[in-house]
Amino acid sequence: MPSCVARIAFTLATVSALSAATLPAQTGVLVGAILDQTNRSGLQGVVVRIVGTDLLAVSDFNGKFTLRGVPAGARRLEAQHDDYISYRLAPLRISATDTNRVTFAMAFQRSTVTEVSWTMNAEGYRGRNGQRFDVRCPPGGSPASTWGTDVYTDDSSVCTAAAHAGRITFEAGGVVSFEIAPGMSSYTASSRNGFATSAFGEWQGSFIIR
C-alpha cells in the first residue's frame, strides 16, 4: 500500500511540474513618454530597451513609445539618443494584468561644434524638433537673409539670427546653440542689435537661438 501511495504522489508531482512548464510566461504592456529635460517637450528618436531582453522601441514625434510582451516582474528600462545623456531607470514593476506607464526626461549633451559660414541655415535639420546643435560662426560676418523674431524660419541664416538675438556679434562671431522647432503660421519682423529681420507667412520649419 505505501508503494502505491508513493507512485501516485510521484505521478501527481510530475503532472504538476509539466503543467507549470507548459504555462505561457506572463507579459505586460509598457507605455511611456520621454521629455527633453529643459523644455519638457516630447523627445523623438529615443531608442528604448528592456535590459536583458531583445525588446526595444523608438519614441515618436511626441516622445511616446509602446513596448509589448514585456516579461512581468522587476524590469530595467534603458533609453539612448545621440544628442542626450543615456538614461537607465530604476527597476519598474511590470504587471501582466494592467497597462504599465512611465514618464521621464533626458538631459541634452552638447554636440560637437561645427564650423559654418554666415549663410548657413537650418533646413537640413528640419523635423528634428527639440534637438539642439552647436555651430561656430567666424568673425567678420555679414548679415544674411533672416525671417522672424525669437523663432526664425529654418531657411534663415543661423549666425545672423544669433546676432539679431544678441548672442554673438558680426565682428567677433562665436559659438551658437540653436534648437529645431515646428513650422509656424507666421513670423514677425523686428530690429535688434543693429539688424532688421523680415516678416514671413506660413513655413514648414523653424529654429530658436538658445
Same domain, 152 and 193: yes
Contact by Cβ (8 Å): 69, 27? yes
Same domain, 59 and 88: yes
Give residues with Cβ within 8 angstroms of 58, minimum separation 6. Answer: 45, 46, 47, 48, 65
**Mean local confidence (pLDDT), 151-164:** 98
Same domain, 199 and 161: yes
Determine, yes or no, domain membership for 1.
Answer: no
Looking at residue 111, what is its pLDDT?
Answer: 63
Q: Which domain holds residue 78?
A: 25-106
Which stretches of the chain are DSSP H helices? 2-22, 158-164
Q: How many CA atoms lie within 13 A of 18 on its CB side?
A: 6
Q: What's the rounded Cα separation, in Å, for the pair 20 and 188?
A: 68
**Identity of the residue numbered 140:** G
**Identity of the residue numbered 185:** S
Looking at residue 24, what is its pLDDT?
Answer: 58
| Tens digits of residue pLDDT in 89-133 | 999 999 999 899 999 999 887 667 889 999 999 999 999 998 889
Determine, yes or no, domain membership for 19.
Answer: no
Looking at residue 12, what is its pLDDT?
Answer: 47
pLDDT beyond 80 at 202: yes
Same domain, 85 and 120: no
Same domain, 60 and 126: no
Same domain, 119 and 201: yes
Q: What is the CATH number of the domain that holds 98?
A: 2.60.40.1120
Contact by Cβ (8 Å): 176, 135? yes
Same domain, 85 and 153: no
How many distinct structural domains can be found in the chain?
A: 2
Same domain, 83 and 121: no
Determine, yes or no, domain membership for 4.
Answer: no
Looking at residue 113, what is its pLDDT?
Answer: 84
**Identity of the residue numbered 9:** A
Determine, yes or no, domain membership for 29.
Answer: yes
Same domain, 84 and 156: no
Three-state DSSP class for residue 14? helix
Same domain, 99 and 136: no
Three-state DSSP class for residue 124? helix
CB atoms within 10 A of CB 36: 23
Q: Residue 63 to residues 50, 66, 79, 144, 154: CA-CA distances in angstroms?
A: 17, 11, 12, 34, 22
| Tens digits of residue pLDDT in 37-96 | 888 889 999 999 999 999 999 999 999 999 999 999 999 999 998 788 899 999 999 999
C-alpha closest to that of 68 among 96, 87, 43, 93: 96
Same domain, 200 and 125: yes
**Mean local confidence (pLDDT), 5-13:** 49
Determine, yes or no, domain membership for 204.
Answer: yes
The maximal CA–CA distance of the chain, rounded, in angstroms, is: 105
Same domain, 118 and 93: no
Looking at residue 13, what is its pLDDT?
Answer: 52
The pTM (predicted TM-score) of the whole model is: 0.53
Q: What is the CATH number of the domain that holds 152?
A: 2.170.130.20
Contact by Cβ (8 Å): 60, 35? no
Determine, yes or no, domain membership for 86.
Answer: yes
Q: Which residue has the higher pLDDT, 109 or 17?
A: 109
**Identity of the residue numbered 145:** S
Determine, yes or no, domain membership for 195.
Answer: yes
Among 90, 106, 122, which residue terminates a domain?
106
Among 86, 106, 126, which residue terminates a domain?
106
Determine, yes or no, domain membership for 7.
Answer: no
